């Protein structure tokens, strides 16, 4: 009897797993929204023709986003992105005006965008949660090589401000993104800080 019960339980578990996988399958509308041109062009990390795509909607003032980039991202990058199995795209989803400004500065940095984002996540507590966050944000960004003049010009760029805000609004309206970090792993939505094993369960066989 115990053996029969174990077999039955295993069969039921497989059924539930299959049902969950089917339920999590992205709709055509989600796939279309993810693939559509964005208000700001995607910056792709990894091979453009990688068999899988990981998209993160993040806010630079989000402590959970900072924790992901500190604790989980290095392993994910090493296993999937650096090996050509997946490409990674971070899209702006600012939760407050300070994050809007921080993302603007990252975009203004051009080829240094990822360096600015990494710096701001790594030192988040030193600028985002201070008495004078804009002053400390300027210090952090200038540490990556951005000049004071470029900083001042960037935060006054209305067109860029509008584009960063539109990134948030489009994701909220078309993908129902409400919190950060929100991931789409080949279109499958994950919310919260996800580690390597969680993403591994969703990636297609070609990316494993």
Place of tokens 């960004």: 141
- Structural domains in the chain plus CATH codes: 37-207 (3.40.30.10)
Of 66 and 9, the one with more pLDDT: 66
> pLDDT tens digits, residue range 71-129?
889 989 999 999 999 999 999 999 999 999 999 999 999 999 999 999 999 999 999 99
Long-range contacts of 27-31 (CB under 8 A, 24+ apart): 29/174, 30/175, 30/184, 30/187, 30/189, 31/187
Q: Region of 203 please: left (phi>0), alpha (psi -120 to 50) or beta.
A: beta
Query: What is the per-residue burial (b if ≥16 Cβ within 10 Å, else e) of 160-194?
Result: bbebbbebbebbeeebebeebbbbbbbbbbbeebb
Is the CB of residue 61 less than 8 Å from the CB of residue 98? Answer: yes
pLDDT score of 1 more than 50: no
The answer to whether 124 and 83 are in contact (CB under 8 A) is: no
pLDDT in tens, 23-59: 467 899 999 999 999 999 999 999 999 999 999 999 9
With cut-offs at 50, 70 and 90, classify the pLDDT of residue 196: low
| Per-residue model confidence (pLDDT) at position 195 | 61
pTM: 0.85
Least confident of 122-126, 179-183, 194-198: 194-198
Distance CA 54, CA 48 (A): 12
CB atoms within 10 A of CB 196: 14
Indicate the pLDDT class of residue 202, thresholds 50, 70 and 90.
confident
Beta partners for 56?
Answer: 90, 183
User: Cβ(104)–Cβ(161) under 8 Å?
Assistant: yes
| Residue 10 reports pLDDT greater than 70 | no
Question: What is the rounded distance in angstroms from the CA atom of residue 167 to the CA atom of residue 107?
Answer: 13
Residues 132-157 pLDDT 10s: 999 999 999 999 999 999 999 999 99
The string of DSSP letters for 90-121 reads EEE--SSHHHHHHHHHHHHTGGGHHHHHHHHH
User: In the prediction, which pLDDT does 197 show?
Assistant: 73
DSSP 144: T
Cα atoms in the Cβ-side hemisphere of radius 13 Å centred on 204: 12
């Amino acid at each position: 009897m115990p053996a029969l019960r174990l077999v039955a339980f295993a069969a039921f578990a497989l059924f539930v797993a299959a049902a969950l996988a089917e339920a999590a399958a992205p709709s055509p509308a989600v796939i279309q929204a993810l693939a559509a041109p964005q208000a700001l062009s995607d910056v792709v990390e990894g091979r453009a023709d990688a068999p899988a795509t990981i998209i993160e909607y993040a806010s630079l003032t989000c402590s959970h986003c900072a924790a992901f980039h500190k604790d989980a991202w290095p392993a994910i990058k090493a296993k999937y992105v650096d090996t050509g199995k997946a490409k990674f795209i971070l899209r702006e989803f600012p939760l407050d005006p300070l994050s809007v400004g921080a993302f603007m500065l990252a975009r203004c940095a051009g080829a240094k965008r990822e360096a600015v984002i990494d710096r701001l996540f790594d030192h988040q507590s030193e600028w985002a949660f201070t008495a004078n966050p804009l002053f400390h944000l300027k210090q952090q960004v200038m540490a990556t090589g951005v000049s004071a003049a470029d900083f001042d010009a960037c935060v006054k760029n209305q067109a860029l401000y509008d584009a960063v805000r539109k990134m948030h609004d489009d994701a909220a309206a078309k993908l129902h993104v409400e919190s950060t970090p929100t991931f789409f792993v080949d279109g499958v939505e994950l919310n919260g800080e996800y580690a390597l094993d969680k993403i591994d369960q969703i990636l297609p066989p070609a990316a494993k």
